[in-house]
Every structure is written in structure tokens, then in C-alpha cells.
Chain A
């Protein structure tokens, strides 16, 4: 069967089981947009290519499948660089297809030419510049294989226009060997000596902690983690990237560690004698000042990526495998710590003395953002997916939403990309139309990518957006208040400009506003009744509210600052 390169590309995507592409056409990718008309694949037309990338990420994080985005060359390609970088930092499986100028024009500064494989070399797991139509099936199959196996990540395919216009005899690789990836071996044999050593360290530990990172979700280790944790009774902390890997409702879960983690999670890591790091990478936002991080702890480091070993923190045992397999191996060897009663008693004291806290909401005054999140969560259907932007609202969402299952928390961790929330929510809802999707957003973040609500409305993707409108780039304001003597520099945004309700309505969404508790409950109930169009709520929250606990950047986790209301004589 003779196909054009463009047809071969779409057919290859169909073969990979792709059901949704997020994209926006242009000259160099034009040939590929024709066969889309005849394909079963749904194409969602975005308003900005950054939106396409974040939607594909939201889709991937909510479904566990690779997200797919397609854009044109030059500015289309550079517009999607931020999501690619974001996916690279968070190991999100993504396949991004960019149009490229014709092969003969490459290198001549042709109209809308840019070296996107060069630009994205450092922020993709791998990228391809296709040379001939015959390669298309192999490259597409290889791209999905690379994006979704081993440590997942973004893969970019650059497709010159003449290649998509030329013809090829259709074929499709039927084995991994045909992908021609001689240097790629994602499956590693689990090392029984490392397992034995890990089991031995666990057996000697009195203050162990399961330090669970994003790799646990990526390797679908929820069940294995629950089984291992329940059997051993070892305390669990889940990082920002791992929220949902272990149910928040379990008393064994101490919450999130790190800069804005719970006191008990942060302190348990600090005082631990054994960190069992599962797909976690000792990010500086978790360790605080490295030299004073968990100084008395031995480390078992489980990761699929061996380059994470000893990169930041020296490990006593390194075990290269996926998290689920490691936990099964530990279970099989009956790895069991010493008696943990004393350890748990200590942890329970911290939890009692320093729970998450905020000032009680008042009936009139501005809303407490934490309370708004709790109210939305209480009224939300089970299994609701939550996305967020980046800033204070993100930290509060992570702290105050109860995550019970994988794929329900979709956020930008490693890169901290403002504007992630709205498009990610659209992508998540496109991938999981059966679920309610809430985006907990900041007013600053919302203004970066809000135009995608036009996409959501026109494509019939009814997400719900809660803007925690504090009239500020709140997280930066918090740092300026605390570390720059309240000298506020370029952080004020205004609560009324833009008018979020009118803006939402102009985009075909329902726009609501709440300035006090009564209105808050009303608009949440109203939003939950609307299931056909997107809803945007402008929650007027207190500008002065700060995120606690907090470990100041670069300082020791021992110097964690709890909420002022909890600061007694000791802290």
C-alpha cells in the first residue's frame, strides 16, 4: 500500500493507540493535517502551542499513556519548548511532532525554519529529525517506546514538509529489534545482592521512612507500596510529584516533605536512620540545605535511572529497577524493620503539636485560600482530578486536598511552570472524561494560559477552574515579605483587572465570583451542577496569607517554620 508520509504518520499514531492529539497547524505541518480529517483520532485545536504541550502532559499524567502534541515549524515549535522542558523535568511521557521546512531548505534560514532538534536536545529524552518517509513508522514506534519505558520523558519528532509529501510503501515494525535502538535497554535485571543488602538495612532500622517520589507513580507501584507499607508499618511521605501514590487517608501517611511539607514529614526524614527512597531524586526543594539533611540516615535508593544514584545524596544501597518490582522483592524477602513503637510515638507527638494550620475563616472578610480548597474538596466527587498552577495555591492544593489514588494530582513540579494548570486540566479531562477535573489556579498563572478555555468550550471539555485571586504573584510576595523586609517589587496584579467573570463569559464559560463564606459555598454548589461547559470561579482571597510550614531556601530542614498560631515557646 502506497501512502504519503503524512498519511503514514497518522496511521502510525493510530497503530500506537493514540486517541487524542493536541495541536495547531501551520505551513510546514500542513500536509499532516489533511489525513487527520479521515482519522479516528480526535484532534483538539488549541489557541497557543504551549497549551497543546501542557494539555498533552495533563492527558499523560491523568491516563498514564503518552500525551501527543503536534505543531508547525519555527514559532510553533518554539512555543512548545516550555511544555517539553516541563515534561523533561517531571519525566512525563510525551510525543511531540513538529513540522520542519523541506529537507533541501534546512540550514538556509528558510521561512519559519528553526533547529528544534538542537533546541530541545537537552530537554528531551531523545529527538528525531526524519530523513525519509520510509522511516516514519519506525521513528513513531521508537518515539512511543522511548517516551513510555524506562524513565519516561518527552520525545520530539521533527518532520520536514517534503518528507510528509513524499510517498512510501506502508509497513510497521512488529518487534523492538526493528526500532533500531541498539543503545536503549530500559529493562534491567534486579540485582539480588542489592536486594539482600537493602533487606538487611531495613532489618536493622528503628526509624525508617519510605520517601516516595514521582517514580512510584510512573512505575504504577501504588498496590505494591500499599502492601509493603501496611506489612512493615514504615511511615510514608509522598513528594509533590508523588501525591496520590499512597492514600492520604491512611494514618501511616505523614504527607508531603520539603520546603512546604508537613512538620512530621520533614522532621521524620531529618531524624530517620534509614531513608528508603523510591523513585525520588533528593531534589533541593525536599532536602533543604544538603549538608544538614537527614544526617543520621542510611539510604536505600531505588530508581530506574542509575544516573540518579549518588548524584545528590550518597546511597548505601542502590537498586536499579522500577519501584513496584523493588517493593515486591523486599516483600518476598520479608524485609522487616525493628520495633517501630518508639519511632511512631515520636512522630505522633509531632503530628499533634504541629499539624497543618491556618487562621479560622471569618464570615465576611476575604476568604482563606486553604478553606476554599477544603470546601471544594469536600463537595467534589470521589476520584476528582486536581491540577494546579505554580505558586502558593499549588502548595495549598497539595497540602489540603486528600489524594487517594494515582493520576488524581496533576502539577508542574521540577520546572514549576506558571500557566500549567488550565491546559493541563483540559488535557486531563480529555483523557478522563468520566472524571470531574478541578484546576486550582492562581490569578497570575491563570493570566498566562487562560485563552485555552476557548479551546475547552469549543471542544466541549467542561473543566472547573478555581482562581485563588489574591491580587498578587503571591509566592513571590511571600518571599519579599519574609526575606526582603516587606519591600514588594513587581508583584501586585490587582483583584479586579482583569474582570475574571467577564473574561470567563467572553470565552463561553460560566463565570462566578465569591468574596465571602456564604458566596463561596453557593458558587461551589453551582459549579458542581454545571457539567456541559467550563466554569471559572473568582475566589477573592486574603493577599497576606502565607504558605506554612516553610523551610527557607538554602536553610536546614531543622529550621522549619510552622504556622504562627503553633509557635509556642519551643518554636
Chain B
């Protein structure tokens, strides 16, 4: 959605990004309200992932990676909080969050490069999830960095169709908590 998402050099994540974990009512148009708010206030969304929260039919969790350079985080959170369907907002600074993302990529392969594709997959921890005579589909569920890595490694191959989900995140567990 952001016109220039590549702010971080080889790492695709904006330099000053924040992860907002937003609990919303599962109602028609909620996503449009969020997207509309970001668009009209000029806030950049880097990625966005939505799914029902805790198997709940009433609420969904939207994980939004925002570019905190496009606007102060306080503004983004303050405006988002005014949406009536937004129930709770957790601001996860990258160091306080466990972030994961899923990457799928389909590559054309022939007898010459098949081995190197398999090599890349093995080295990056990706798995092969689909194969036919001309193509293979690899999958990686990992940190955004790991996905960046794989994406980079696949650049040298021809005919790559690649899709990432955008990240989901939860707060890092408190290591000082008593058992």
C-alpha cells in the first residue's frame, strides 16, 4: 500500500517501523475504515495481516506494520483509537515483539538449476511444498529477516512468482516472570 516501501536498503522494512496489533470488531467495512484513515491522514502502511482473533467470531486482530517516519506514532495510534470499531491497540516496538511472516515462491526449474534451487531452500530453511516438471514452490515461515534473505537468494532465478503475507506479531514473553 505504501508507494515507497523500500526504505531500509536490502532489508525491506522501513527503518523506523512499528507494529500495531489492533483488536477490532469483526464487522463489515472495518478494514476499509482502517485503510481509509491511513490514506486520508497520509500514514504509510508497510504490511497488514488480518484474521479472527483467538478463534473469536466477534473480534479480529489486524497486525499493521506502520512506517513511523510518515507520521508520529502517537498520531497514528490516537487517530486509530477514534475508530469506533477499534477495541484495543497494542504498540509493539520491534525489540519487544515476536514477528513472523510466511513467504511462498514458485520458480521455473530445469535439470540444470534444479539442484541449486533445492540448495537455496535447504540453506534458508524453506521447504518444498509443490512440484511439477517445470516448477517448484517453496515456502518459508520465519522472521521477516529470514524471508528477506530467501527473497534475495531467489533473485538470481528466472520466472519467480513470490508472495509474502505481511507479518503477524505478539509481544515477546516476559523473561523475568516467575514460574
Contacts of A126 in B (CB 8 A): 83-84
**Contact partner of B78 among A117, A182, A307, CB < 8 A?**
A307
Nearest chain A CB to B38's CB is how many angstroms away?
A: 11
Is B95 on the interface with A (CB-CB < 8 A)? no
Is A19 on the interface with B (CB-CB < 8 A)? no
**Contact present for A121 and B33 (CB under 8 Å):** yes
Contact with A along B34-64 (1 / 0, CB 8 A): 0011001000000000000000000000000
**Contact present for B40 and A307 (CB under 8 Å):** no
Interface-facing stretch out of B8-16, B23-31, B127-135, B157-165: B23-31
Is B117 on the interface with A (CB-CB < 8 A)? no
Is B137 on the interface with A (CB-CB < 8 A)? no
Nearest chain A CB to B31's CB is how many angstroms away?
A: 11
Is A3 on the interface with B (CB-CB < 8 A)? no
Give the interface residue-count category, chain B: 20 to 34
Contacts of B29 in A (CB 8 A): 117-118, 121, 129
Contacts of B75 in A (CB 8 A): 307, 310-311
Nearest chain A CB to B71's CB is how many angstroms away?
A: 9
**Contact present for B78 and A184 (CB under 8 Å):** no
Is B108 on the interface with A (CB-CB < 8 A)? no
Is B72 on the interface with A (CB-CB < 8 A)? yes
Nearest chain B CB to A314's CB is how many angstroms away?
A: 10
* Chain A 40-63 residues near chain B, CB threshold 8 A: none
Contacts of A308 in B (CB 8 A): 78
**Contact present for B84 and A125 (CB under 8 Å):** yes
Contacts of B28 in A (CB 8 A): 129
* Chain A 256-314 residues near chain B, CB threshold 8 A: 305-311
**Contact present for B82 and A307 (CB under 8 Å):** yes
Instruction: A182 to B37: give the CA distance in the assembly, Å.
Output: 20
Given contacts A129-B28, A182-B25, A182-B87, whether A122 and B40 have CB atoms under 8 Å apart is: yes
Nearest chain A CB to B63's CB is how many angstroms away?
A: 17
Is A13 on the interface with B (CB-CB < 8 A)? no
Instruction: A305 to B88: give the CA distance in the assembly, Å.
Output: 16
**Contact present for A306 and B78 (CB under 8 Å):** yes
**Contact present for A183 and B83 (CB under 8 Å):** yes
Write the chain B residue with the least CB distance to A122.
Answer: B40
**Contact partner of A121 among B32, B79, B86, B87, CB < 8 A?**
B32
Is B74 on the interface with A (CB-CB < 8 A)? yes
Write the chain A residue with the least CB distance to B84.
Answer: A126
Is B143 on the interface with A (CB-CB < 8 A)? no
Contacts of A183 in B (CB 8 A): 24-25, 83-88
Is B81 on the interface with A (CB-CB < 8 A)? yes
Is A506 on the interface with B (CB-CB < 8 A)? no
Contact with B along A418-434 (1 / 0, CB 8 A): 00000000000000000
Contact with B along A26-47 (1 / 0, CB 8 A): 0000000000000000000000
**Contact present for A121 and B36 (CB under 8 Å):** yes
Instruction: A397 to B85: give the CA distance in the assembly, Å.
Output: 40
Contact with B along A1-30 (1 / 0, CB 8 A): 000000000000000000000000000000
**Contact present for B74 and A309 (CB under 8 Å):** yes
Contacts of B87 in A (CB 8 A): 182-183
Contact with A along B108-128 (1 / 0, CB 8 A): 000000000000000000000
Contact with B along A119-140 (1 / 0, CB 8 A): 0011001100100000000000
Most buried by A among B78, B83, B86, B87: B78
Contacts of A118 in B (CB 8 A): 29, 32
Instruction: A220 to B37: give the CA distance in the assembly, Å.
Output: 30
Is A333 on the interface with B (CB-CB < 8 A)? no
Contacts of A176 in B (CB 8 A): none
Contacts of A184 in B (CB 8 A): 84
Nearest chain A CB to B50's CB is how many angstroms away?
A: 16
Instruction: A129 to B32: give the CA distance in the assembly, Å.
Output: 14
Nearest chain B CB to A161's CB is how many angstroms away?
A: 19
Contacts of B85 in A (CB 8 A): 183
Is A190 on the interface with B (CB-CB < 8 A)? no
**Contact present for B72 and A310 (CB under 8 Å):** yes
Nearest chain A CB to B42's CB is how many angstroms away?
A: 12
Instruction: A307 to B87: give the CA distance in the assembly, Å.
Output: 16
Contacts of A338 in B (CB 8 A): none
Contacts of B84 in A (CB 8 A): 125-126, 146, 181, 183-184
Instruction: A567 to B29: give the CA distance in the assembly, Å.
Output: 57
**Contact partner of B74 among A182, A305, A310, CB < 8 A?**
A310
Instruction: A306 to B74: give the CA distance in the assembly, Å.
Output: 9
Contacts of B79 in A (CB 8 A): 307
Write the chain B residue with the least CB distance to A307.
Answer: B78
Most buried by B among A117, A125, A181, A311: A311
Nearest chain A CB to B76's CB is how many angstroms away?
A: 9
A-B contact pairs, 6 of them (CB 8 A): A126-B84, A146-B84, A181-B84, A183-B24, A183-B84, A311-B75
Q: Which residues of B are interface residues toward A (Cβ below 8 A)?
A: 24-25, 28-29, 32-33, 36-37, 40, 72, 74-75, 78-79, 81-88
**14 other contacts beyond A125-B82, A310-B72, with CB at 8 A cut-off?**
A121-B36, A122-B36, A129-B28, A129-B29, A183-B84, A183-B87, A184-B84, A306-B78, A307-B75, A307-B78, A307-B82, A310-B74, A310-B75, A311-B78
Cβ-closest 6 pairs across A and B: A307-B78, A183-B87, A126-B84, A307-B79, A183-B86, A306-B78
